[in-house]
Each structure stands twice: as C-alpha cells, then as structure tokens.
Structure 1
C-alpha cells in the first residue's frame, strides 16, 4: 500500500495504474477505499481516463459501489475521444457487453466521420474482444481484420503483430487449433526482441495445449512466458497462467507431471526456488512419495503471503 500511496503523492499516473492493476488483491477493503479516493482525485486532476476507469472498476467490483454515472456525465460533456473510449471499455470490464458495444458503435461513427484512423482501429479491436467474449468468433475475426487494415495504413508494426497473435488465438477458439497455432508461429520470428508480445504468444500457446490436456507442453509455454515477463506488466499474468495449469493438475491428481516438471521453474527462476520446491514437495506428498513433515519444512521457507496462499489453494484442490 505504501508504494501505491507514494506513487499517488508523486503524481506518477502510469505507476499508479500499474500498481493498482497488479497489487489490488494485497489491500484490505479499508486500504483499497483510501487508495481509490486518492487515485480518483489524481485521475481527475491529470485527466487520465484510463486511471479513472480502473478506479471506478474497483469501486464497482470490489466495494460494490456503482459510480459509473459520474463517468457517463463527464464523457457526455467532453468532446474528447479518451473519456468516451474508456467509459465504453469500463462497461466491457464489468460485463455489460451490450452497453459497451452500443457506446463503441456510436463512438466509431464519430471517429470515422472525423477521419481518425487510429481511434477507429482501437475501437474495432475493442469490439472484436467483446464479440470474442460473446463467443461470436466469426464476427470477432471480421473486426480484427478491420483493425488490421487501419493499423497497416498507420504503419503501426507493433499493433499489427499484437493483432496477429490475437487473430491466431481467436482462430483457435473458433475451433481451428492447428491454423491458430500456425498464425502465431508466423509471428514469433518477428517479435524476438519484444518481450510483451512474446509473453502473449506463449500464453496463447499455453491455453491451446491446456485445451487438449497436453499439460507438459502447457507448463513449458508458461516457463517461456515467465522468463520473458520478468520486469514487465505481464509478470503477474504469466504467473497466474502457471497457477491455473498447476491447479488443474492437482485437481486431476496428476501429481507426477507436477513434480517431474517443476524443477525447470526452480532453475530458470531462482528467486522463486523456495516456492517451486514447496510445490514439488506438495505434489510428492499428494502422490504418497514423501511424509507431511517434509512438506511443512519446505513451506516454512516461503515467506511471501501471496505465495503461501497459492500453496494452500493447491493443497486443497480436489475434484
């Protein structure tokens, strides 16, 4: 909490956004309310609508306070693109997909009429994600293509590569797994120096392998993603994906796959060695290979409360 408050005091909006996004689970409701009140003031002062969106999202989802009408009033009075775009995205985040689409469509009409290609591309991409959420994959792919055409006009190579990764993933979701893999594989040689895009690619592969219950391959993709995610905003996302795979393996009593593969994480990520050693020992215990006392010794070496909570969850996993 101190780090977030310090970033707010220093008016480092980008850092506040990042910390709020990735560290909110560490806060009690009382602490979160204090942070949100201060962050809201900063967001309005700086006119940073992305931060304001996050603040209202956490009020809604965690504190059960609906304050979106305040954002609606600001967006209605504004002639700028950003508040309207982030308001529409806020509705997407809280799960009101139809309202989000309604706002995005109206905004798209404005931006196309004004010739704002970049804004229109962002809207098409956002609308594609909504249709993906609705499992309307053909429509999502159509909108992805529209976004791609506009980013090509802009010459935005990084966004084109990001879109291609997403297109591969939606193709997989639509049922063509092999084509989806091929599309993402075609991107890999072009993003070797782009850590964030590589993380997105590897996590897409991870979900494809998990879908067909190839858990060793899924774990391998998690490893690649975690290595590339170091020091980026994707680090927590990559770690969460690994935990999802481990959770599934524990649920299915496939402890052997865990303890045979987890050493790769200990070696590649030595700063988390104690945690992965505890995961391995827990899997061995569940498989009847070691005594409970051995597990306790390794768990005691883990000091991070969040990691301890994850170990507790894995220990309780059962069908």
Structure 2
C-alpha cells in the first residue's frame, strides 16, 4: 500500500496504474478504498482518463460501488476522444458490450470526420475485441484488417505486430488452427526484441496447444512466456496462464504431466523453486507416489502467502 501511496504523492499516474493492477488483490477493503479515492483524485487532476477508468472499475468490481455515471458525466463534459474512448473501454470491461459498441461507433464517426486516422485505428481494434467476445469472428477479423491497413499507412510497425498477433488468435478461435499457428510463426522473428509482444505470442501458442490438449507443448509455451515476461507488466499474466494450465491438469487427474514438466520452471526460476517443487509434490501425492508426510515437508518450505493459497487451490482440485 505504501508504494502506491508514494506513487500517488509523486503524481506518477502511469506507475499508480501499474501498481494498482499488480497489487490490488493485496489490499483490504478499507485500504483499497483509501487508495482508490486518492488515485481517482489524482487522475482527475491530471486528466489521466485511463487511470480514472481503472479506479472506477475497481470501485465497481471489488467494492461494489457504482461510479459509472460519474464517468459518463465527465466524458460528456470534457467531450474529448480520450475521455470517451476510456469510457467505452470501461463499458467493455464491465460486460456492457452493446453500450461499448454504441460509443465506439459514435467515436468512429467523429474521428473519421476529423481525419484522426490513428484514433480511427484504435477504435476499429477495440470494436474488433468486442465482436470477438461476441464470437462474431468474421466481423472481428474485418475490423482488424481495417486497423492494420491504417497502421501500415502510418508505418506503425509495433501496432501492426500487436494487431497481427491478436488476429492470429481470432483465426484460431474461428477454427483456422493451422493458419493461426503459421501466422504466429511468421510474426515470431519480428518480435524477438519486443518482450511484451513476445509474451503475447507465446501465450497465444499456449492457448492453441491447450485447446488441443497438448499439455506438454502448452507448458513449454508458458515457460517461454514467463521467461520473457520476467520483470515486465506481463509477468502476472504469464504466471496466471501457467496456473490455468496446471489447474486444468489437476482437474483431469493428469498428475504425471505436471510432475514430469514442472522441473523446467523450478530450474528456470530458482527464486520460486520451493513453490514449483511443492506443486510437483502435490501432483506426486495425488498420483499415489508420495506420502502425505513427505508432501507436507515441501509445502512447509513455501512462505509467500499468495503461493501458499495457490498450492491449496491446486490441492483441492477435483472433477
């Protein structure tokens, strides 16, 4: 909490947003309310609508306090692309997809009339994500094509790559698995020096392999993603994907795949060795290859509360 409060005092909106994203689960309700109130005030003073959106979202989802109407009034008052764009994204985050689409369509008309092509591309891409959520994959791909065309004209290589990775994932969702894998492979050499995109790409491969129940390959992609995500904003996302795969394996009683593969992670991340060895021990215990007394010794070595909670979570997995 102190780290977040310090960032707020320093008026570093970007750092406040990053810390909230990574540490919000560590705060109790009263602490969270205090932090969010201060972060919201800072966001208003700096007119950082992305941070403002984040605070409104956490108020709504974690504390049950609805402040969406405040954002709506603010966006109407400011009447800027940034404010309305973040409001549309808030609607998306809250699952109000039609409201989000309606606002994006209005923004698309406004920004097209003004000739703000970069904003138009952002809106096309954001609308594509909603149509993907609605499983309207053909429409999502069409909108991504339009965004890519603009970014290509602008010479924005990084955004082109980002949209391309997600476009490949939508192709996978639509059933074009081999084309999706080929597209991701074609993008791989272009993102080797861009950690965030490299993580996104490996996580896309992970989902493809997991969907095919090729868990050895899925875990390998999780390993690559975690290695490249180390020390970045994507570290939690990559770790979450690994936990999702492990959870699925425990649900399916496929303990062997867990204990045969988990040593990769223990050796790649020595600072988390105790945690991964405890995961292996639980899998061995579940498979009847380790006694309860033995597995307890491994679990007792883990001192991080979040990791302890995750071990308990995996240990309770059942069909």
Indicate whether the TM-score tops 0.5.
Answer: yes
Deviation at 1:153, TM superposition (A): 1.3
Unpaired segments of 5 or more residues in structure 1? none
TM-score using structure 2 length: 0.99
In the alignment, is residue 166 of structure 1 matched against residue 166 of structure 2? yes
Equivalent position of 2:53 in the other structure: 53
CA distance in 2, matches of 1:11, 1:305: 30
CA distance in 2, matches of 1:5, 1:306: 22
In the alignment, is residue 194 of structure 1 matched against residue 194 of structure 2? yes
Equivalent position of 1:142 in the other structure: 142
CA distance in 1, matches of 2:211, 2:228: 23
For the aligned residues, what is the CA RMSD?
A: 0.7
CA distance in 1, matches of 2:23, 2:93: 18
In the alignment, is residue 35 of structure 1 matched against residue 72 of structure 2? no
Equivalent position of 1:85 in the other structure: 85
Deviation at 1:160, TM superposition (A): 0.2
1:121-270 map, 5 Å: 121-270=121-270
Deviation at 1:198, TM superposition (A): 0.5
Number of aligned pairs? 319
CA distance in 2, matches of 1:49, 1:134: 26
Can you list the C-alpha shifts for 1:153-184, whole angstroms capped at 9, x where unaligned?
Answer: 11100000011100100000001111111111
TM-score using structure 1 length: 0.99
SS at match of 2:63: coil
Unpaired segments of 5 or more residues in structure 2? none
Which shows bigger deviation, 22-31 or 95-104?
Answer: 22-31
CA distance in 2, matches of 1:216, 1:191: 24
CA distance in 2, matches of 1:294, 1:40: 49
Equivalent position of 2:274 in the other structure: 274
CA distance in 1, matches of 2:47, 2:293: 55
Can you list the C-alpha shifts for 1:273-312, whole angstroms capped at 9, x where unaligned?
Answer: 1100000011001111111111111111111111111000
CA distance in 1, matches of 2:99, 2:151: 26
Equivalent position of 1:98 in the other structure: 98
In the alignment, is residue 316 of structure 1 matched against residue 316 of structure 2? yes
CA distance in 1, matches of 2:209, 2:241: 12
**Consecutive aligned runs of 4 or more in structure 1 exceeding 6 Å deviation:** none
CA distance in 2, matches of 1:220, 1:246: 12
